[in-house]
Amino acid sequence: MTTAIDQRMKSFAVSLLESGGGLIEWPEHLKSGFAILPPQTAALLECPENTEITAESVERGLTINLASMFLQRAERLFPRDTSAMALKIDTLYLKKSAMDEPVARAFAFPNARVKVLGASADRVEYQFWHFAAAIESDEKWEDVVGVTINSRSHARLEMPDPLNNYDAHPTRLDQVPVDFAAATAQAAAVAGAKASGFIRRLEERMDRDMKRLKSYYHALLDDASDRSRRTVAEPDKTDARAKAVELELDRKTEELRERYTLRPSLRPVALVRLDAPALAVTLNAQRRDGEKQFNIYWNAMTKTLEPLACSACGEGIFSIHFAEGFVPLCGACAHK
């Protein structure tokens, strides 16, 4: 496990345990720390209430790495059918100047005329998801994938951890449904990008093994062909030998493909829902087939305009191509 993955696991574990009422002392430069956990949390994680917490394997402590059972047990703390935690920020500074120039700098609309109609204070739910991502094949790749989405626009964002925000306080959020489908799609894209090196190495190995396999069996076929020239009196026996080699090659090829088949999985292990102030900027888009109003958002925590999400691939976009019905698309999806 790499140092980067160690650090993400450590950060995730500390935030998760502290949000559940645990007291964690784990210095930045050390591989081990100490945790005092509530009885219920300790029971679900199958560890003592007062326990060592470490990235290395220990007999009685809480081991935080991808080879341990931590992620599987942590899932018990946050069942899929309920939200893990709901937070609220009551007030934040909202930009008061006209938004025409910021929108013109940030966005492009190649196939529509777009005008800023105005901006108004609003509230948006931001969903901070953590997934345990894995790809099983001839080898196994694992990582923790975190994605943050705007529940209105479904755009994936880069935002600071809400558990470190002192303005955020616990609340109840029932009015906005948890958008599991959008989060899973965004997490799958992030996991695919993170695993690209692993996938490339597997593909290279499969190509190498496939070449060796075909070379071996083609040599057997050539040998069978040579025997046929030497034993003209027994063509049926020679043909049967060649057919057997071909069938075995097909079987071995199928086994090799199965061996290198990618089997990805995503398991949600934590979710924080954050209700926060935002500035809703209303735009009016005009095309030959009509016009439509829609909102983009100025994020009060990052002090930037947020992208929209491409309706086809889910990527965040600032250059927006409108399809029929004013469906927003990225350039690549618009030209498919």
- pLDDT of 242 reads 76
- Contacts for 45 with CB less than 8 Å, ≥ 6 apart: 37, 62, 70, 73, 74, 76, 77
Start-to-end Cα distance in the chain = 39
Q: What pLDDT score was predicted for residue 336?
A: 81
pLDDT of residue 321: 95
Question: Is residue 271 scored above 80 in pLDDT?
Answer: yes
Better-scored residue on pLDDT, 136 or 307? 307
pTM, full prediction: 0.69
At residue 247, the pLDDT reads 86
Higher pLDDT, 14 or 102: 102
Q: Using the predicted structure, report yes or no on whether residue 6 has a pLDDT greater than 80.
A: no
Q: Report CA dihedral (157, 158, 162, 164) to the nearest 10 degrees.
A: 180
pLDDT band at 225 (very low <50, low <70, confident <90, very high): low
* Residue (of 176, 133, 153, 160) closest to 273 by Cα position: 176
pLDDT at 57 over 80: no
Band (pLDDT 50/70/90 cuts) for residue 237 is: low
Average pLDDT, the chain: 85
The larger pLDDT score, comparing residue 93 to residue 336, is at: 93
Cα–chain center distance at 66: 16
Structure tokens at 11: 């950060």
- Spatial CB neighbours of 8, under 8 Å, sequence gap ≥ 6: 143, 144, 146
Q: What is the pLDDT of residue 168?
A: 92
Q: What is the pLDDT of residues 76-105, one digit of tens each?
A: 766 554 456 889 999 999 999 999 999 999
Q: What is the mean pLDDT of residues 290-305?
A: 95
Question: How sure is the predictor about 234, in pLDDT bands with cuts at 50, 70 and 90?
Answer: low
Between 252 and 296, residue with greater pLDDT = 296
Chain-centroid distance, C-alpha 227: 56
Q: How confident is residue 164, by pLDDT bands cut at 50, 70 and 90?
A: confident
Mean predicted confidence (pLDDT) in 36-59: 83
Sequential DSSP letters for 153-206: T--EE----GGG-TTEEE----SS---HHHHHHHHHHHHHHHTHHHHHHHHHHH
pLDDT-based confidence at residue 239 (cuts at 50, 70, 90): confident
pLDDT recorded at residue 82? 43
Q: Amino acid letter at 19?
A: S
| CA 137 – CA 258 distance, rounded (Å) | 9
